[in-house]
Chains A and B, each alone.
Chain A
Amino acid sequence: MARTERISLAQGSGGEPMQRLLRELIWPVFANPILARQEDQARLAFELQPGEQLAFTTDSFVVTPLQFPGGDIGSLAVQGTLNDLAVGGAVARYLSCGLIIEEGLPVALLRDLCLSLAKTARDAGVQVVTGDTKVVPRGAADGLFINTSGLGIIPAGINIGTHRLAAGDSLVVSGPIGEHGAAILASRQELAITGDLRSDCANLSPLIQTLLPNAGLHALRDMTRGGLNAVLHEFAEAAGATAVIDESAVPVRPAVQGLCELLGLDPLQLACEGRLLAVVAPDHAEHLLQCLQAHPMGQGAAIIGRLTPKRNVPVILNGLYGIERALPPVSGELLPRIC
């Protein structure tokens, strides 16, 4: 296929053009023995040891632009799903991959994105074992949508989750927040934003493996859509507690802060794709922080606040001069409040 070639609707028809696309582009990229069998399903042999559990998750990825500083939709589609497995303590094994391609997407770009996806999976030691490809008419999708599902194993003895959250727990972030969201905004040409903004997207699994031995670790969450704000609300709600955050302790890079001020956005609401929030018993918090900071992906980690007995609002920011502000949950549209 020529470099200037674009995906046509016919390639989604199921006939010969589609077979060519699969044969020439998709299969070579993902090549592995299970996929090579070309069955309608992946057949996987699992032998679970006593106490082990299967973990299974799915996520769809929609991002504009498809490539951005620090990553692309391909790497994101793998990392996002791996992170969802990892925050439950699981070791990821297999992925599925569904591609929904908009008619007219340059074939070369599709190949690059698929290569990125495959490489990210390989680097993480997981195989893409089943998949699907669809082509939809112009306007029915935005370039490329990807859905991935992931299968992993939670080793025996791991017990983390929202059921363990308790008032008094410390809240720890693994690094500066909002960098993925900021990078996506900055890479939108028309906004003409300058500054050193790279997505933080990453596979959190290696970092999380170093945290799991910590007996005080209660829960982990990757801060994706809705950013830190959304996770704080989710955790506060689940714990029946109020999260009190020391605003000045939340790490935000100056470039992200600057962009937020210019656009009138709140860094707490910007998505991250390679940062997590850990909730840990207070007497284990220091140790967890040291573990995080010892790992390359957690160098910017910080204790940002704690869960306190429930008050009248779920999340409170302790700001300058000790003035408290209620942090409203993320709502669909930003509408000015000041009258």
Chain B
Amino acid sequence: MEQQIAEIRIRGTVQGVGFRPCVWQLAQQMALRGDVRNDADGVFIRLFPPTQMHRFQQQLETHLPPLAHIDSITTRLLPCGDIPQDFCILDSTRGHNRTQVLPDIATCERCRSEIFDTRDRRHGYAFGNCTHCGPRYSIITAMPYDRSHTTMAPFRRCAACQHEYVQPLDRRFHAQPIACAECGPRLWLAAPDGTELARENAIAVAAQRLQQGQLLAIKATGGFHLACDASDPCAIERLRSLKHRPHKPLALMVRDTAQLRAFARVSRTEEQLLHSPAAPIVLLDMLPASLPSALCSGLARVGTMLPSTPLQHLLMAALNGPLVMTSGNVEGAPPCQDNSSAMTQLAPGVDALLLHNRDIRHRVDDSLTQVIAGRPQILRRARGYAPAGIYLPAGMQDADGILALGGDLKNAPCLLRQGRAHLAPHLGDMENPQLQRQLHQSLEQLTQLLGCRARLIACDPHPGYHSRRLAHRVAQTQGLPLVEVAHHHAHLAACLAEHRYPIDGPPVLGLILDGSGLAPANSPHPIWGGEILRADYRHCQRLDGLPAVALPGGDQAAREPWRNLLAHLERWQPEWAQTAARLPALQDLQQQPLHTLRAMIQHNQNAPLASSCGRLFDAVAALLGATPSRQSFEAQAAMHLEALAQSATAASLPGFDPGSATDMLDLTGLWQQLLDCAQSEPPARTALWFHQALARLLARRLQALAHDQGCTTLVLGGGCLQNRLLQAELSTALTATGFEVLIPHQVPANDGGLALGQAVVAWVRREAGHG
């Protein structure tokens, strides 16, 4: 009788993660015969005897390499005349690409210990990695993921590295960026004029200079950093003026969590997040007076990360304290990506540059996260996360070739491919023409790398968005259909998709709180930003929301918080000048050209109406003197208001009467009671009172509407959710009353997540079958 052999097809994140050696090892242990190989579909295994197939699968699933993820396993039995004598690893075959592109992964524990081990051949080497760690997306030039398709291609493996590379039992078996001091990338320290200052001891000299208060540009995996000693106020001031970033908080890098505990509180989850393969920046509560105030200018939280590359580990080990580690760019311009742009753009402002000769193919910034209610939440999705696929809900497996361009701020485009959403790394504000070009490139790179042609384009309908203009141009030149998805529907749908809410699930109620987005044409006011929506993936309807208030001066109102204070007072407490005149902020307000501003509001002279939650926070921050009259970075006022509130005690705060939950939302009562509170309580307690009152007002109204509509699932979204206090108050109030509450975690709640929502809505509208 002819013998049979088992064929196993595995799809998912199974290439470039040590999957084949793992299979090989298992087969050896179980004394199986056959072979394993990579192809464009994933991993393909032949196994003999087939009776062992089931046990093999079980073993495989429990022994998966850390970065691997299995989407599906299919098996079949085939007659086979020529049974292999042993088990071996075969070369890759090509074909249509269904594999995944991995993000960059922080140095693993074993690689880290090697570089500090004096007996190891990678002792002190800045570019080591293995199958479980190291650069991926930032160095990939094409798929499949082979060394020749990375920026490591120019480096020839030495004999020792080659040996590790081909040994199935080695941790570096087929680790594409494998390198050592003998054969891999090199580091040097350059003076601003380009002269070499140090080579062999570049890290030691760099550390010494940092310790002396110097400013350094440091080439990382996905871009450049600007660094200085975090305990040196003068160095920090220099760095701020170089970046033209007067107040926005700066991120820190610490050697380890022990160093961190000297200035911040760290929970277990936060610690795990810091140590996770993505190694993001985590926003942590600062201990009082532990760091120079120039770092965070009065805010209570500090963004901190651990080293994520051997270079950073070596550098931090050579220093005795944390570093400021901020992106290598001038505010508003894209971060530098290659040595020559660093030499022209950064060199004139720094004392030295720590450079290396491995090219960065894709710019990838540091990711930003926070932990809320014990769960990590991504605020900026980039290094370590992007462009890994996010599984779409059941029923969307066929979504493929949908390319969404996102919004204009915190832009990150998204490609749906084979039922997964690939969000490209955060790019930034599209007002900059170079960033617009990067967005355009990013679209091409996404589709090329993932081997997926765009068939449908999605974007925001705002006529002033550069991203929309580009979307229309792309659709036109490629002859593709285009769908515009309303801003707040996209926010809501992004959260639904992240939580894999069923495609045919009943409509949910969403509370979307942000700064501003274009309202649909049938809205009585042009700008939304605080909406209660009833929606599914296809439709979206506004049930209620914050009442519209003028933005005197349009975008100028987003820069100058006091304009919103005036607009809100004029709308809700027109007698404010008499009743609350004792408040210092209101005395200041009277110094403004009120005649003109009132006329702008009254005659709609560049004072569009907006139901914006962000501008409400601006107004209250201005009332409590928590913000400068002109913000130097986005959400500055709101962040200061939150920090102020967090410094207060909640004991015996004045009560809040939210009025009837069956009436449309109204802010008269809130403002009346807020002004009363501000006159009897210190600003910090008033700030806390406001957070609680607003959350209560919104939660009650949302619940009442949910009961009316028979909705049991609630969605929260929009940039204002980055406010931890507001988010916690809202989710506590809503969860306590038995609703299922969906909150964005993997995908930013702010406009960084818009593209995902646009993509799924566009797909459902254009292509989903009508069941």
Contact = CB atoms under 8 A, between A and B. Distances in A.
Interface in B391-437: 407-410, 430-434, 436-437
Contact of B432 (A324, A328, A337): A324
A47 interface: no
A37 interface: no
Interface majority SS (helix, strand, loop, mixed), chain A: loop
Interface string A297-339: 0000000000000011100100011111110100111111111
Contact of B595 (A192, A261, A264, A332): A192
Interface residues of A, number: 31
B514 interface: yes
A265 interface: yes
Contact of A312 (B408, B440, B605): B440
Nearest to B610: A336
A22 interface: no
Contacts of A185: 605
Contacts of A335: 462-464, 518, 526-527, 554, 608
Given A190-B603, A335-B462, A313 B436 contact: yes
B610 A191 contact: no
B744 interface: no
A14 to B, nearest CB: 38
Contacts of A263: 553, 556, 596, 600, 605-606
B365 to A, nearest CB: 18
Given A311-B433, A334-B554, A339 B751 contact: yes
Contacts of B556: 261, 263-264
A264 B719 contact: no
A190 B599 contact: yes
B463 to A, nearest CB: 5
Interface string B541-564: 000000000011111111100000
Contact of B558 (A190, A262, A332, A338): A338
Nearest to A326: B433
B434 A324 contact: yes
Given A263-B605, A337-B555, A191 B599 contact: yes
A159 to B, nearest CB: 33
Contacts of A190: 599, 602-603
A335 to B, nearest CB: 6
A323 B464 contact: no
A304 to B, nearest CB: 18
A255 to B, nearest CB: 14
Contacts of A7: none
A334 B553 CA distance: 9
A212 to B, nearest CB: 35
A325 B431 contact: yes
B433 A325 contact: yes
Interface in B602-636: 602-603, 605-606, 608, 610, 614, 634
Interface in B506-546: 514-518, 526-527, 529
Interface of B: 244, 330-333, 407-410, 430-434, 436-437, 440, 462-466, 469, 514-518, 526-527, 529, 551-559, 593, 595-597, 599-600, 602-603, 605-606, 608, 610, 614, 634, 719, 750-751
Given A324-B432, A326-B430, 12 more contacts: A192-B596, A263-B600, A313-B436, A325-B432, A335-B608, A336-B527, A336-B557, A337-B555, A338-B515, A339-B409, A339-B514, A339-B719
13 contacts: A262-B596, A263-B556, A263-B596, A311-B433, A312-B437, A313-B466, A326-B432, A328-B466, A331-B464, A332-B463, A334-B608, A338-B559, A339-B408
